Amino acid sequence: MNNFRFHAYTDIRFGKGQVNCLPELLAPYGKNVLMVYGGGSIKRNGLYDKIKELLADFNIFELGGVEPNPRITSVRNGVAICKKEHIDVVLAVGGGSTIDAAKVIAGGALYDGDPWDLVTDSRKIGKVLPIVTVLTLAATGSEMNKNAVISNIETNEKLGTSSHDFIPQASICDPEYLYSLPAMQTAAGTADIMSHIFEQYFTSHTQAYISNRFAEGLLKTCIKYCPIALKEPGNYEARSNLMWASTLALNGLLSAGKGCAWTCHPIEHELSAYYDVTHGVGLAILTPRWMRYILNDNTVDKFCEYGCNVFDITEADPYKCANMAIDATEQFFKDCGIPMTLTEIGIDESKLELMAEDTIKYNDLDRAYVALNKEDVLNILKACL
Ligand code: NZQ
Ligand code: ZN
């Protein structure tokens, strides 16, 4: 295995009623809290009122309206509040978009220039205000990781940045908050969790046996519980397993001792940058096409390993086995109700070339599991139409 650093320090409070710990978790950082949230789901499900009641002794300032695929404009607004009100700690209440925006706000609060600089160049991230989160969507793992993804609509850019100091100090993960999710967000969130696992599972490293078995366990968890959560939104067992899977899939555990550049995520970020699509939907569409495109003599055994260990496929012929595994992946996303072509989500051929070019421009796809150039990305995108 490769050398690695695993310092996932987030204080996770998992389970029913854990929001009651919020005052205790925020208190060490000070009284001035910036509460960041999205377009209103937390007002509809009662979480907003509950938090305001719990934090009656704190000075709460608010930034609501953070968009899915969060915009740099929202981040700038949050930074302005932090600077004006001497904010001590940033509290994100929501999904990955809200948490990601909160991270860059926390960095921007202690940075002199435009926070977009922190997105385009992570080396500029210096000191960061402490971040605490209340998670309401199982998908990104942002509640325990160092990443943030921010969109700039004016320039059609959606870029990831990261800092060790972006890792939240504490995260409250109460599976009951997932009950109010629309079915499509449950399905897209699961596709995102699975894609995080695939990006770390499909590498050329052969020695990280332990990471691969963790990965397969998490994939099986998604495949078992997403259909149950879709059928019974209030099923606690399903929601709690999905919620913990989302955290573990992208907190450094699966890439410990292995790793290479990611593929479907960079391509999806271009779909979102140009068409503002739901991240997990874009990933579900891309994943089986990418898998088929990179299936060759060097990768076939890895796909068989996936098929055998995750879908219990027993086919002896390696290519048949690999294709069955890829078909099963596609069918799973379909069965979850995710639209499985770009055409269905309103994307035509007109910008595919541009998106392929930008994918290569902003990312390191020559270091991916199977190295891809612009032509390859374009072919994968065309196969998704
Ligand atoms: O804005 P509100 O009203 O809260 O509604 C949200 C939003 O419309 C809604 N929602 C969230 N929790 C809910 C709920 N609705 C009802 N009940 C609840 N409990 O769901 C919609 C989507 O929310 P969003 O936060 O955008 O979803 P997600 O968690 O999937 O985050 C997606 C963003 O994270 C980035 C993606 O690119 C995308 O911008 N990613 C972040 C990563 C990271 N930080 O590590 C890694 C990922 O690969 C990903 O790129
Ligand atoms: Zn993702």
pLDDT band at 260 (very low <50, low <70, confident <90, very high): confident
Our answer on whether the CB atom of 141 is closer than 6 Å to any ligand 1 atom is: yes
Q: What percent of the chain has pLDDT over 70?
A: 100
271 lines ligand 1 (CB under 6 A): no
**Residue 378: predicted pLDDT:** 98
Averaged pLDDT, 232-252: 98
Residue with tokens 């992946």: 329
The pLDDT value given to residue 259? 83
Mean of the pLDDT values across residues 204-221?
95
Q: Is the CB of 282 under 6 A from ligand 1?
A: no
What is the reported pTM?
0.98
The whole-angstrom distance between residue 13's C-alpha and the CA centroid of its chain comes to: 20
**What single DSSP character describes residue 33?**
E
Q: How far is the CA of 308 from the centre of ligand 1 (A)?
A: 32
pLDDT in tens, 103-149: 999 999 999 999 999 999 999 999 999 999 999 999 999 999 999 99
- C-alpha of 45 from chain center: 23
| pLDDT given at position 81 | 98
Distance (Å) from CA 354 to ligand 2 centroid: 21
Distance CA 52, CA 236 (A): 25
Indicate the pLDDT class of residue 216, thresholds 50, 70 and 90.
Answer: very high
pLDDT above 90 for 172: yes
Per-residue pLDDT, 206: 87
Backbone angles phi, psi at 320, to 5 degrees: -60, -45
Does 234 have pLDDT greater than 90? yes
Q: Does ligand 1 lie within 6 Å of residue 136's CB atom?
A: yes
Q: Is the CB of 190 under 6 A from ligand 1?
A: no
Q: What's the gap in Å between 97 CA and the centre of ligand 2?
A: 11
Among 41, 62, 143, name the best residue to mutate to test ligand 1's pocket (greatest count of ligand atoms within 8 A of Cβ).
41
Q: Which amino acid is at 66?
A: V
Tokens of 173: 């993960």
C-alpha pair distances (Å), 120 with each of 125, 158, 267, 374: 10, 10, 17, 21
CB 161 less than 6 A from any atom of ligand 1: no
Ligand 1 and 168: CB distance under 6 A: no
From the CA of 96, which ligand is nearest? Answer: 1
CB 198 within 8 A of CB 287: yes
pLDDT for the residue 182: 98
Candidates 259, 285, 97, 117; CA nearest to 187 is: 285
The mean pLDDT of 74-94, rounded to a whole number, is 98
Q: What is the pLDDT of residue 202?
A: 97
Q: What is the mean pLDDT of the chain?
A: 97
Q: How confident is the model at residue 269 (pLDDT cuts 50, 70, 90)?
A: very high
- Answer yes or no: is pLDDT of 274 > 90: yes
